[in-house]
Chain A
């Protein structure tokens, strides 16, 4: 009986405990999972941005389509894993051959989605302190949006041309996180205006010091760099040169390639001191990744041969798995197989040099070019490049630009831009005697918008 009383008391106690527990309002405020965060602090938002797998991905179509490489034979081309690789190579009218979930389109929009969520999250955070972290995150989000929108517009819209920009179709401008709003395509002008405006905000917010340990962080250095890259593609050389100069004023370190191990497959460290903003391509296409071994492709022979034997880039950028076949080694990202598409100091030198040359200042232009090349050639064998005119300097700079920025996704927009300048560059491919040609300013310089986007949002497709 005594036990019974104890039981009885125990149960009354249990009963009371349960009731009192339930009365606590906070009982249901417990977080249901450690794996789920409701991002509402600055740190939570930073964690979202610290996601190179999602945020640091740019399209790879410009590499697939450009003339830096060729298939060794038709069999190799046929054996390519995706229809997109095959179609892009021969500049077919239909790029994707029925493939969907095209990362070249989806990944940048996913980054923009993250940036928009972070920007909207920041609005709920009390920023009365105007802390440097708050400003940095905000700047980072704006920078990301600008960077990714530019990546989209250079692939999916015509090159910027002030005479037609207000009628040319650009890209949908997603400026809010809400997923139920579907945007139509803005004009090219509206798109560039938006990109430059975002970048302008970013530049004011970002710090000016070099993020040595975190190359995925933007800074004023890389914001100026992006300005320079975009203005160059818009053929506004004066501004391009000015921003490249601003960037270089803040940071201008060049790696002396003489200090690198030319036999290494990974010549550059993750903390690559020449990179000012690290970002890589999507890795959907086996042909574009570093060490694309197993793919029957090689670096364009003429391009490869244009590197002087004393040019260290020849053995630092490439290696030859079999006679006559040259493939790319791991580049500036210093990790993984994602080709680097970020912004580095070498590009800034080249932009400034080009701008100087175009403005007739061949001395300044050659000085920049030689500063760069001195860090690229075997020290003993380097001789300064000379030019008798600004035009010759420009031609040498453009030549070096192609060699320096190989496999970085820049060649394609350079071709679009240069052909606008009247460079009249035609590309040709040959497969088993059949020749494919891409003439200057061909509409096929603009890629198709993926079919799933067209079906679901009804935006206008590009005519190729």
Chain B
């Protein structure tokens, strides 16, 4: 990143630390000419500030630099938009303050080296309790401690006694001593990083004061990381953390929490091959078959349920824990890294603040033309060819098996019922139809997502509150589908018994519901039966379709039952328009988080935390009596006695209702002892140790009702035992029995201890140990637990005396080592089985799920992290560079075993993996002047991994190539292998290599172990990825765009498969490029069409090297424009701040390595459609 300005620093005057900074093209100049006289007695310090439209904060900053005064103010009162023009040199502080606050709605008061800036309204006064009258005039000595809202000591807080010159400053441990005070003295607590606070001593000799941290970024304000167990100041942390603050988190418009982290989070990869439902991994994969999903923690506890149910507006900040030092406190849950989400809370001494936010996101329709498919005319020509080969004769010979409209025309011609010109014109008409037109018209729509949020927060002297409510409604791209979410959250915090006891309560309620059409029979609008399917006639009237390969022939359903049966046609459009069937789900989540922290004796405190979570989910699948689902089922089971004109219907012709109720409950309790002490002012020790108990339980049941009448809520009893003959064909089935239930319960007990030590803030040592025990099945008692931990070192180099790099005022090095664990609950050391209900003889039966494996162990991930953190003067350039090694050990893997064992794959501790990589983040302010600022944020992640040990034997070539995880020693965890490609032969057959020679023996290439037949193509997961975000701020306009990139990986594209084409899958690429005549082999790699198709020939071609492409791509992820207004700019504004935000997401691929028009993030399906959103945000 080139810097557009020249910077230099010159020592001027007597004092070495005063400097003049010249910024080229800079219009604001702070002329700091030195402090003339320092006096504790009055305000006689002289200051100089000069510049046009300087933000007020900058003025305060300049004053703080020139004097030993500190400013204390509410962020809301002084924001960036308040500017002054000043040209004052060497004037009295008060003169300057008077001058610069003259036209602003604030006033100042100075109290012992602290300048309080307050709003000109008296509303805050009530929050400060009146001083209690003095009963005695005896003087006392006070010992006090200042902690932040998380209970961590706050050093460097200035405590002044109101009206006196007495003052004290807290030490590393947050403690202070004041002697000879009057019992009714009023203490004022102030520091740069905390909100101001006043209290009356009231005769107390011991004081514990909790101050709210003020995240005002003045210079190098420190970031705090919350791990779920403790808050760590970044200067005290040895581990690898990434913090996403609220501004950054709110940059993207989305209803999902995780979505908002995309492209802005160092070390977090979003990729479809991530191996978990969220599609995310932190620092790559370190496991083969266990879940790769990071642990997600909200406030103190792991989030139970779907994290996307959390209202993103409730999020204050997100911290990613990447290495052992950061994450090992989470033990066996930490192997994939941890995402800690902190929710919003109120602040002490804060007037009520109301936020309102609204967002509308509009998305394009998915591009149906993205996926290659056969043109209707081509597909008809294939059908014609197969018809000639007699391929359809089997279906034709039955009266009911389905045949396509084109085959019906061909059959009519063969039977002589139509002329050849009729057949030609009818086929021509079909080939003009493209089903995508109808799907796009009737089944897709622009998505619309609306979000509304409102919140109130504030706090008094002893309590804080934050109440939020949100509503989200989403109409997705799929016509007929919608979902919404209501969320309410209340966070309260009380400080009792002179701050000895702190009590926190966080209650939240979420209700999500979704509605969709349950089914369109067997018809899937996105996978229609034929490319020339017509869903509506020219007037838009619904037309019948066959409904997949299991559908019935249309000429059969025309006449079947001679009028006794229900209409047997499936008209998808009718089903959709008339809401014949409906799927609804409502999920209600309740969550109560309670915590109490009590200071027992000075360095020791105890916390007790408890979380209760309950989620009740109800799913109703209602198939209306008019739905095809019901009509079809009723007809299938119907029996007609034509002679007596009696129809018997074992399944009544009424609604069918399937209901599922799932209740999840989680109890999570924690008792933790905290010890914080500084010895001799040099040795700081912070120890926490605790004990956790967790119990997660899920109960679910499903039932089904036939002949359901929604008006009377009654249903009909059916016979589940008898095998009823189907109306057509020769099958007999029982009536589907949908009743089932299951229960899951996971219990854990954990013990943990975490130690932090530092010497003068320079040298940091950290360590932790944790043992998790669970009711993991089939493990003997002594194997239930696994101890995990870490050891870390850190060095704040800038605090060394010898450190003299002036342009780099912050430099920190750290190194950590440790183990995180991974749980795989799918395997067991002992034989396990699973019941599956009754067999045909109505007796309970069960299946083996897990063969015995007595040597099974837990998976572990060894982590080594080396970190470098730096920032240049004034944060012009800052960043982190981290190098890590992650070694998965005892990984549970599946490998093929000889079928004679009774199973075909074995799961056990079979593999070790090795991964290394860099996580680099660079932030730079390229231009910074009065009106304009340009900042860049670069994220660069690399991850190179390979399998180092794989104990089980390799299967045949096809096991290596086809399985996604091939686990070959010395190759990446997700490797793509492919058969070597020998081109097409003279008749269009694909050729490979067997034992080094060109071969067409596909079966041998596929099923032998001849490793010369295939080659390694590369990793399926990007080895290099990241993003570059640029932000431009001009006055109140904020423009930013994010470019994300993924490099060095491969994907296997879909290639033509004749077997699949013949069975009706018309989603085939390159059909036009197939070998058709001699000589074609010179220009094409697409094999010729042969009949009957050869499955191994298709498979060989599909898995050959010609199907593998480089996936590298760069995309413009999003652009965001925000307009931020404040009341100062527009006095009539009814809000204190008001912002409008325009955001476009999923914009375009700027560059990709493949030339096949394939988006590597959408190898199957469709690329995520572009969305446009507009958002409003107001605060008052």
Identify the A interface with B (CB < 8 A): 1, 4, 7-8, 11-12, 14-15, 17-19, 21-22, 27-39, 44, 47-48, 50-54, 73-76, 78-80, 83, 86, 94, 97-102, 105-106, 109-114, 116-117, 121, 172, 174, 177-183, 213-216, 265-266, 270, 290-291, 293-296, 319, 321-322, 325, 329-330, 335-337, 450-453, 455-457, 459
User: Bound complex: CA of A177 vs CA of B850, how far in Å?
Assistant: 12
Checking B401, B725, B955 against A265 with a beta-carbon cut-off of 8 angstroms, the contacting residue is B725
Given contacts A98-B1003, A337-B731, A453-B900, contact A36 B849 (CB under 8 A): yes
Supplied contacts A182-B900, A456-B956, 12 more A-B pairs, CB within 8 Å:
A4-B501, A12-B608, A28-B749, A44-B846, A98-B1007, A105-B900, A106-B904, A174-B900, A177-B831, A293-B398, A330-B732, A453-B899
Q: Does B642 contact A (CB under 8 A)?
A: no
Q: Which 10 A-B pairs give the minimum distances between C-beta atoms? A: A113-B902, A75-B390, A291-B730, A98-B1096, A98-B1003, A457-B898, A18-B669, A50-B845, A456-B898, A47-B846
User: Closest Cβ of chain A: how far from B795's Cβ, in Å?
Assistant: 39
User: Closest Cβ of chain B: how far from A275's Cβ, in Å?
Assistant: 12
Contacts of B496 in A (CB 8 A): 1, 4, 7-8
Asked whether, in the complex, the Cβ of B903 is within 8 Å of the Cβ of A179, the reply is yes
Please tell me which stretch of B182-190, B222-230, B761-769, B835-843 contacts chain A, meaning at least 4 of its Cβ atoms lie within 8 angstroms of it. Answer: B835-843
Contacts of A182 in B (CB 8 A): 897-898, 900-901
Closest to A181 in B: B901
Question: Which of A75, A112, A177 neighbours the largest number of chain B CB atoms within 10 Å of its CB?
Answer: A75
Asked whether, in the complex, the Cβ of B898 is within 8 Å of the Cβ of A19, the reply is no
Fill in one digit per residue for B963-999: 1 if any A CB lies within 8 Å of its CB, else 0. Answer: 0000000000000000000000000000000000000
Contacts of A455 in B (CB 8 A): 955-956, 1007-1009
Asked whether, in the complex, the Cβ of A101 is within 8 Å of the Cβ of B904, the reply is yes
User: Bound complex: CA of A105 vs CA of B901, how far in Å?
Assistant: 11
Asked whether, in the complex, the Cβ of A98 is within 8 Å of the Cβ of B1095, the reply is yes
11 A-B pairs with C-beta separation under 8 A: A21-B669, A38-B828, A106-B904, A172-B900, A180-B906, A216-B839, A270-B840, A293-B730, A330-B732, A452-B896, A456-B896
User: Bound complex: CA of A51 vs CA of B848, how far in Å?
Assistant: 10
Asked whether, in the complex, the Cβ of B731 is within 8 Å of the Cβ of A216, the reply is no
Contacts of A74 in B (CB 8 A): 390
Contacts of A215 in B (CB 8 A): 841
Contacts of B401 in A (CB 8 A): 293-294
Checking A19, A29, A38, A111 against B671 with a beta-carbon cut-off of 8 angstroms, the contacting residue is A19
Contacts of A79 in B (CB 8 A): 389-391, 393-394, 1092
Question: Which of A215, A266, A294, A336 neighbours the largest number of chain B CB atoms within 10 Å of its CB?
Answer: A294
Asked whether, in the complex, the Cβ of A179 is within 8 Å of the Cβ of B897, the reply is yes
Checking B503, B610, B831, B843 against A50 with a beta-carbon cut-off of 8 angstroms, the contacting residue is B843
Asked whether, in the complex, the Cβ of A30 is within 8 Å of the Cβ of B902, the reply is no
Number of interface residues of B (CB under 8 A): 91
Checking B693, B828, B835 against A35 with a beta-carbon cut-off of 8 angstroms, the contacting residue is B835
User: Bound complex: CA of A343 vs CA of B1007, how far in Å?
Assistant: 37
Contacts of B235 in A (CB 8 A): none
User: Closest Cβ of chain A: how far from B732's Cβ, in Å?
Assistant: 5
Please tell me which stretch of B144-152, B255-263, B738-746 contacts chain A, meaning at least 4 of its Cβ atoms lie within 8 angstroms of it. Answer: B738-746
User: Closest Cβ of chain B: how far from A15's Cβ, in Å?
Assistant: 5
Contacts of B903 in A (CB 8 A): 110, 113, 179
Asked whether, in the complex, the Cβ of A450 is within 8 Å of the Cβ of B1003, the reply is no
Given contacts A37-B835, A78-B1092, contact A112 B902 (CB under 8 A): yes
Question: Which of B731, B1091, B1099 neighbours the largest number of chain A CB atoms within 10 Å of its CB?
Answer: B731
User: Bound complex: CA of A179 vs CA of B775, how far in Å?
Assistant: 25
Given contacts A456-B898, A456-B953, contact A76 B390 (CB under 8 A): yes
Q: Does B494 contact A (CB under 8 A)?
A: yes
Contacts of A97 in B (CB 8 A): 1003, 1094-1096
Q: Which of B835-869 contact A (CB under 8 A)?
A: 835, 839-841, 843-849, 851-852
Asked whether, in the complex, the Cβ of B723 is within 8 Å of the Cβ of A266, the reply is yes
Question: Which of A214, A293, A335 neighbours the largest number of chain B CB atoms within 10 Å of its CB?
Answer: A293
Asked whether, in the complex, the Cβ of B901 is within 8 Å of the Cβ of A174, the reply is yes
Given contacts A83-B1095, A214-B843, A266-B732, contact A29 B596 (CB under 8 A): no
Checking B596, B828, B844, B900 against A457 with a beta-carbon cut-off of 8 angstroms, the contacting residue is B900
Q: Which of B1085-1137 contact A (CB under 8 A)?
A: 1091-1092, 1094-1096, 1099
Asked whether, in the complex, the Cβ of B394 is within 8 Å of the Cβ of A33, the reply is no
Asked whether, in the complex, the Cβ of A177 is within 8 Å of the Cβ of B844, the reply is no
Given contacts A51-B845, A335-B840, A456-B896, contact A113 B747 (CB under 8 A): no
Contacts of B832 in A (CB 8 A): 36-39
Asked whether, in the complex, the Cβ of B784 is within 8 Å of the Cβ of A28, the reply is yes
Contacts of B830 in A (CB 8 A): 38
User: Bound complex: CA of A459 vs CA of B774, how far in Å?
Assistant: 42
Checking A36, A174, A451 against B777 with a beta-carbon cut-off of 8 angstroms, the contacting residue is A36
Asked whether, in the complex, the Cβ of B745 is within 8 Å of the Cβ of A14, the reply is no
Q: Does B1049 contact A (CB under 8 A)?
A: no
Contacts of A50 in B (CB 8 A): 839, 841, 843-846
Contacts of B132 in A (CB 8 A): none
User: Closest Cβ of chain B: how far from A429's Cβ, in Å?
Assistant: 16
User: Bound complex: CA of A321 vs CA of B731, how far in Å?
Assistant: 14
Given contacts A52-B840, A335-B840, contact A27 B1091 (CB under 8 A): no
User: Bound complex: CA of A10 vs CA of B761, how far in Å?
Assistant: 39
User: Bound complex: CA of A80 vs CA of B918, how far in Å?
Assistant: 55
User: Closest Cβ of chain B: how far from A459's Cβ, in Å?
Assistant: 8
Asked whether, in the complex, the Cβ of A329 is within 8 Å of the Cβ of B749, the reply is no
Checking B730, B831, B846, B900 against A121 with a beta-carbon cut-off of 8 angstroms, the contacting residue is B831
Asked whether, in the complex, the Cβ of A30 is within 8 Å of the Cβ of B723, the reply is no
Contacts of A116 in B (CB 8 A): 902
User: Closest Cβ of chain A: how far from B5's Cβ, in Å?
Assistant: 56
Asked whether, in the complex, the Cβ of B1003 is within 8 Å of the Cβ of A179, the reply is no
User: Closest Cβ of chain B: how far from A158's Cβ, in Å?
Assistant: 19
Checking A14, A38, A47 against B669 with a beta-carbon cut-off of 8 angstroms, the contacting residue is A14
Given contacts A4-B496, A27-B747, A76-B394, contact A51 B897 (CB under 8 A): no
Asked whether, in the complex, the Cβ of B956 is within 8 Å of the Cβ of A8, the reply is no
Given contacts A38-B831, A38-B832, A47-B833, contact A78 B1091 (CB under 8 A): yes
Contacts of B901 in A (CB 8 A): 109, 113, 174, 179-182
Q: Does B397 contact A (CB under 8 A)?
A: yes
Question: Which of B389, B745, B839, B899 neighbours the largest number of chain A CB atoms within 10 Å of its CB?
Answer: B899
Contacts of A293 in B (CB 8 A): 394, 397-398, 401, 729-730
Q: Does B395 contact A (CB under 8 A)?
A: yes
Closest to B834 in A: A35
User: Bound complex: CA of A266 vs CA of B722, how far in Å?
Assistant: 13
Q: Does B778 contact A (CB under 8 A)?
A: yes
Q: Which of B661-712 contact A (CB under 8 A)?
A: 669-671, 691, 693
Q: Does B1161 contact A (CB under 8 A)?
A: no
Contacts of A47 in B (CB 8 A): 833, 835, 844-846
User: Bound complex: CA of A86 vs CA of B1096, how far in Å?
Assistant: 14
Given contacts A18-B671, A19-B691, A117-B831, contact A38 B777 (CB under 8 A): yes
Given contacts A47-B844, A51-B839, contact A177 B747 (CB under 8 A): no
Q: Does B1002 contact A (CB under 8 A)?
A: yes
Asked whether, in the complex, the Cβ of A35 is within 8 Å of the Cβ of B1007, the reply is no
Q: Does B776 contact A (CB under 8 A)?
A: yes
Given contacts A47-B846, A78-B389, contact A15 B608 (CB under 8 A): yes
Contacts of A1 in B (CB 8 A): 496
Q: Does B497 contact A (CB under 8 A)?
A: yes
Q: Which of B475-531 contact A (CB under 8 A)?
A: 494, 496-497, 501, 503
Contacts of A330 in B (CB 8 A): 730, 732
User: Bound complex: CA of A37 vs CA of B778, how far in Å?
Assistant: 10
Asked whether, in the complex, the Cβ of B610 is within 8 Å of the Cβ of A51, the reply is no
Asked whether, in the complex, the Cβ of A179 is within 8 Å of the Cβ of B851, the reply is yes
Asked whether, in the complex, the Cβ of B731 is within 8 Å of the Cβ of A291, the reply is yes
User: Bound complex: CA of A65 vs CA of B827, how far in Å?
Assistant: 40
User: Bound complex: CA of A96 vs CA of B852, how far in Å?
Assistant: 32
Question: Which of A1, A34, A94, A112 neighbours the largest number of chain B CB atoms within 10 Å of its CB?
Answer: A34
